[in-house]
Chain A
Amino acid sequence: MSENYTALYEQHKKAGASFTDFGGWQMPLKYESELAEHHAVRKSAGLFDLSHMGEIWVSGPDAAAFLDYALVGKLSAVAVGKAKYSLICNADGGIIDDLISYRRPSPEDGVDKYLVVPNAGNAQVVAAALLERAAGFDVVVEDASAETSLIAVQGPNAEAILLALVPTEQHALVTDLKYYAAVEVSINGQDRLLARTGYTGEDGFEIYLPNVDAAGLWEALLEVGEGHGLIPAGLAARDSLRLEAGMPLYGNELSRHGNAYAAGLGPVVSLAKESDFIGREALTAIKAAGVGSTLGQKLVGLKGIGRRAARAHYSVLKDGSLIGEVTSGQPSPTLGYPIALAYVDVEHSEPGTIVEVDLRGKAEPFEVVALPFYKRQK
């Protein structure tokens, strides 16, 4: 696997990061303490380098119709300035990736424009799939992943930190920005695409910008964020935060061998949209068969009754029989007990059900609970 470095690699090194390979990228796993970073995001704010994520621009007269065909959601129904979580699936319903698409203002009459953001490890595959699916549509698909950086500020103090770098006359653009929406704002003296999105379960922002400007913005954010408790946070904290928020991670909960209905993402699939889309036939059949509700397995939350945590790939048992497998799990820093996501047979998926997880040879009790594990107070 190739080794990619983000434009912020030197900043991470200087801050004492330990690195890990993620989707072919050398990314900061943690700086000093992943627990401190996790708590900072819950209580004040954390700064994340997400430049490993992909950025694919889709524009043209057919952009909306094309994404309706290429993705499972109805992207044509997304208003300009808003964002939508969706999936790109194979014809068999298997998930190629989960992604966020932002609808941007029309660059000219009759032309629509979207920014599609896939996961790091899938960026090239998604770009290739979109290009292939674009045949017959009047649309331009442009993979800007290599030259685009992405910096996130997440946590209750994120807005205050960001406002310190935004001119006063544009403050309302930020404070009025809704969750899953994006706007062009001047940040640290330059116009940037600012999105109110994240993967932590907290309020927060994501800023898209050219690589060449990434280090300047990173340092400016750390400087204005100091009085607001902002610290850089690595992928370890990002993983524990998203798990508490009950958000799936591609490769753990989502894969080509799984499907939206088992993953609890049925509502993301728009079978109601008029146009055809890749995966429609298979997903219609999967839903009709009752997968995820009366048939097969379903993704559930598990809460540890003891103190030991379940980890990915551990077996889930009921009365000694295998009923599923853990996909992600660890002690929850915020809640103080072990949490996990697992696929279990639907008949054991009801919240309140007590199951066991084989923790290296010893079966320990876990309770099926509703997701998310953690929800912030608004």
Chain B
Amino acid sequence: MSKVVAELKYSAEHEWVAVAGDGPVGIGISAVAADALGDIVYVDLPEVGSTVTAGETCGEVESTKSVSDLYSPVTGEVTEINDAVVTDPALINNDPYGAGWLFKVAATEEGPLMSAEEYAATNGGEL
């Protein structure tokens, strides 16, 4: 069963959010989503300096089988994107909570987010 990491928060659209003090929050997609998509071969991320809005699309993740919009779980300015996943999207499948992170946002507002327990319970993940 797909792993869910306890320390993170999750959106209904399967993005995870890592809050680190007052700094920008890290964002990626959950293992549940990565496993459902299959082997990811293309990722389109928002640009650094652009503003993303919680609950709105800000990019897309494409696998051999399907394509899925990327929704920002928070509102704020994008401070950094993970160039490594753009070059090697398989990182998202291999390490969705680590090397496969997607982008960071100086968040001014969070969308509705779930705890790991809530997310795992609704989406069949394993804590």
Contacts and interface: CB of A to CB of B under 8 A. Distances in A.
Contact of B64 (A307, A308, A333): A333
Given A236-B38, A331-B42, A35 B64 contact: yes
Contacts of A308: 42, 44, 60, 62, 67
Nearest to A307: B42
A172 to B, nearest CB: 39
Interface residues of B, number: 13
A30 to B, nearest CB: 7
Interface string A346-378: 000000000000001000000000000000000
A331 B38 contact: no
Contact of B39 (A34, A307, A311, A360): A34
A241 to B, nearest CB: 11
A170 B41 CA distance: 44
Interface in A284-336: 307-309, 311, 330-331, 333
Interface residues of A, number: 16
Interface string B33-51: 0000011011010000000
A331 B60 CA distance: 14
B62 A30 contact: no
B38 A34 contact: yes
Interface string B8-48: 00000000000000000000000000000011011010000
A320 B75 CA distance: 34
A70 to B, nearest CB: 35
B67 A309 contact: yes
A331 B65 CA distance: 9
Contacts of A38: 64
A30 B42 contact: no
Contact of A236 (B64, B67, B93): B64
Interface string B84-117: 0000001001000000000000000000000000
Nearest to B35: A18
Contact of B42 (A36, A309, A311): A309
A252 interface: no
B42 A330 contact: no
Nearest to B41: A331
Nearest to B38: A34
Interface string A212-247: 000000000000000000000000100010000000
A33 interface: yes
A240 B38 CA distance: 13
Nearest to B86: A307
A250 to B, nearest CB: 19
Nearest to A239: B65
B59 to A, nearest CB: 11
A265 to B, nearest CB: 26
A330 B39 contact: no
B64 A240 contact: yes
Given A34-B39, A35-B39, A236-B38, A331 B44 contact: no
Contacts of B65: 34, 236, 330
Contacts of A311: 66-67
A33 to B, nearest CB: 5
Contacts of B41: 35, 331, 333
Given A33-B38, A36-B39, A309-B62, 8 more contacts: A34-B64, A236-B38, A308-B44, A311-B67, A331-B41, A331-B64, A333-B64, A360-B67
19 contacts: A33-B39, A33-B93, A34-B38, A34-B65, A35-B64, A36-B39, A236-B64, A240-B64, A307-B42, A308-B42, A308-B44, A309-B62, A311-B66, A330-B65, A331-B62, A331-B64, A333-B41, A333-B64, A360-B60
Interface of A: 30, 33-36, 38, 236, 240, 307-309, 311, 330-331, 333, 360
Query: Shortest 6 CB-CB distances between A and B: which pairs?
Result: A35-B39, A331-B41, A307-B42, A33-B39, A330-B64, A34-B38
